[in-house]
């Protein structure tokens, strides 16, 4: 999963050939296992292409978009958005390890194509599919959206000398996807406690918070509590 952090970028052009039966079965199992841990009810859809057919809704950003993970869960779960980010990004990195391309999509698709029980909320989707080399169009979109990675100084406020494990964790967060590439999570370190915050003034902010926590934890020895402003707990050796 660590190497996937360096390899992953959002992919928007997929191969025409669909995922193999083996790949589909593996993904279904991964999603089931993830749901069992998170309490989410996310689903793999082999063909969700209808949500990307309308240029008006998808802005023509994607080519051959077909299979996807419908990221959803109970509306009354107070940590729904953060869990979608945390467990969704874990799936993204596993899919990257399978050499598949992925893209989180919250805005540029037609949400009305999907339905869920009344008690559930569809938060966003994660496109998944076969990919080959990055196309010139993808490079252009990526350059336009994500040419800037904020430096560590814009992601960390520290009032004490910063240990290596904090730097490594934030370097991993710097490579994470974020909605509109806003990279809004910031970490605070006072020599004793590390916390992570996001303004929560945009609907996908708490999803980004979950993604950031996942990336940090992959590099660091411990776990964040749930919630905005949560504290990092070191694992006991
Ligand atoms: C929650 C979330 C929602 C996103 N929604 C969209 C979207 O609607 N359309 C799109 O083209 N990219 C979307 N992205 C992808 C971001 O634009 C991308 O992660 C960011 O530009 C950084 O680029 P990278 O993923 O290649 O590192 C989304 C990412 C996240 C995390």
The 10s digit of each residue's pLDDT in 141-188 is 766 765 678 999 999 999 999 999 999 999 999 999 999 999 999 999
% of the chain residues with pLDDT over 90: 84
Quick check: helix, strand or coil at residue 121? strand
For the segment 193-219, the average pLDDT, to the nearest whole number, is 97
83, pLDDT greater than 70: yes
Question: For the residues of 56-76, what is the DSSP string, one character each?
Answer: HHHTT--BS---EEEEEEETT
Token output for 54: 């309308």
User: With b meaning 16 or more CB within 10 Å and e meaning fewer, what string describes 9-30?
Assistant: bbbbbbeeebbeeebeebbeeb
Q: What structural domains and CATH numbers belong to the chain?
A: 2-138 (3.40.109.10), 148-234 (3.40.109.30)
1-17 mean pLDDT: 90
What mean pLDDT is predicted for residues 71-81? Answer: 98
Q: What is the mean pLDDT of the chain?
A: 94
Short-list 151, 172, 171, CA closest to 218: 172
pLDDT of 201 above 70: yes
Smallest CA-to-CA distance from 212 within 155, 160, 165, 162 is with 155
pLDDT for the residue numbered 145: 64
CA distance 66 to 139: 21
Residue 182's Cβ-count burial label (10 Å; 0-12, 13-18, 19+) is middle
CA atoms within 13 Å, Cβ hemisphere of 125: 29
- pLDDT of residue 71 exceeding 90, the answer is yes
Q: Which ligand 1 atom sits nearest the alpha carbon of residue 176?
A: 27
Please tell me the distance from the alpha carbon of residue 13 to that of residue 60, in angstroms, as a whole number: 11
Out of 5, 60, 95, 105, give the residue to mutate to test ligand 1, the one with the largest number of ligand atoms within 8 Å of its CB. 105
Ligand 1 and 106: CB distance under 6 A = yes
Measured by CA distance, the residue closest to atom 20 of ligand 1 is 181
Average pLDDT over residues 184-209: 98
Buried b (16+ CB within 10 A) or exposed e, 50-61: ebbeeeeebeeb
pLDDT of residue 237: 66
Rounded to an integer, the average pLDDT of 115-119 is 97
Distance 205 CA to ligand 1 centre (A): 12
Residue located nearest, by CA, to atom 13 of ligand 1: 105
Answer yes or no: are the C-beta atoms of 129 and 14 closer than 8 Å.
yes
Are residues 223 and 233 in contact, defined by beta-carbon separation less than 8 angstroms? yes
Residue 138 has pLDDT above 60, yes or no: yes
Cα of 58 from ligand 1 centre, angstroms: 13
């Amino acid at each position: 999963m660590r190497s996937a952090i360096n390899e992953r970028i959002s992919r928007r052009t997929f191969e025409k050939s669909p995922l193999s039966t083996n790949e589909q079965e593996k993904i279904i199992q991964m999603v089931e296992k993830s749901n069992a841990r998170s309490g989410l009810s996310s689903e793999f859809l082999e063909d969700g292409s209808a949500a990307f057919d309308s240029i008006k809704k998808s802005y023509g950003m994607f080519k051959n978009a077909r299979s996807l993970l419908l990221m959803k869960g109970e509306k009354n779960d107070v940590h729904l958005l953060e869990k979608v980010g945390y467990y969704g990004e874990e799936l993204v990195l596993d899919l990257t390890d399978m050499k598949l391309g992925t893209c989180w999509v919250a805005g540029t698709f037609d949400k009305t194509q999907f339905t869920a029980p009344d008690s559930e909320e569809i938060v966003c989707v994660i496109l998944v599919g076969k990919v080959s080399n990055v196309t010139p169009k993808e490079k252009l979109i990526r350059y336009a959206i994500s040419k800037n990675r904020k430096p560590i100084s814009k992601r960390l406020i520290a009032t004490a000398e910063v240990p290596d494990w904090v730097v490594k964790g934030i370097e991993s967060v710097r490579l994470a996807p974020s909605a509109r590439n806003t990279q809004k999570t910031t970490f605070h370190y006072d020599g004793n406690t590390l916390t992570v915050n996001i303004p929560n003034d945009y609907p996908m902010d708490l999803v980004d918070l979950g993604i950031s926590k996942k990336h940090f934890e992959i590099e660091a020895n411990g776990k964040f509590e749930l919630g905005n402003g949560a504290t990092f707990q070191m694992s006991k050796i």
